[in-house]
Amino acid sequence: MKTISCFLCAFMLFLNAFVQGKVRFSIDDNYEVCSPETDSFQTFDTSKIELVSVNDTHTYLNGSLTTLFELPPWPARFYTEKLYGDKWEIFIINRQVKDFCSEMHAKNEFWYEIMKHFNPCPYKIGDVIVTDMLRVNDIPLSAPPSFKGRWRGTYESQRVIDGKMKTECFRINAEFLN
Tens-place pLDDT, residues 6-25: 444 445 544 454 443 444 44
pLDDT of the residue at 142:
56
Least confident segment among 38-52, 62-76, 156-170: 38-52
Angstrom distance (rounded) from CA 69 to CA 42: 9
Contact call for residues 43 and 68 (beta carbons, < 8 A): yes
Q: Which residue range(s) make up the domain with 36? A: 2-176
The reply to whether omega before 36 is within 30° of 0 (cis) is: no
Query: Which is higher by pLDDT, 80 or 27?
Result: 80
Q: What spatial distance separates the first Cα and last Cα of the chain, rounded to whole Å?
A: 27
CATH code of the domain covering residue 82: 2.70.220
Q: Which residues pair with 9 in a beta bridge?
A: none
How distant, in Å, are the alpha carbons of 32, 47, 156 from that of 177?
Answer: 22, 30, 26
Q: Residue 79: its pLDDT value, please?
A: 92
**Overall domain count for the chain:** 1
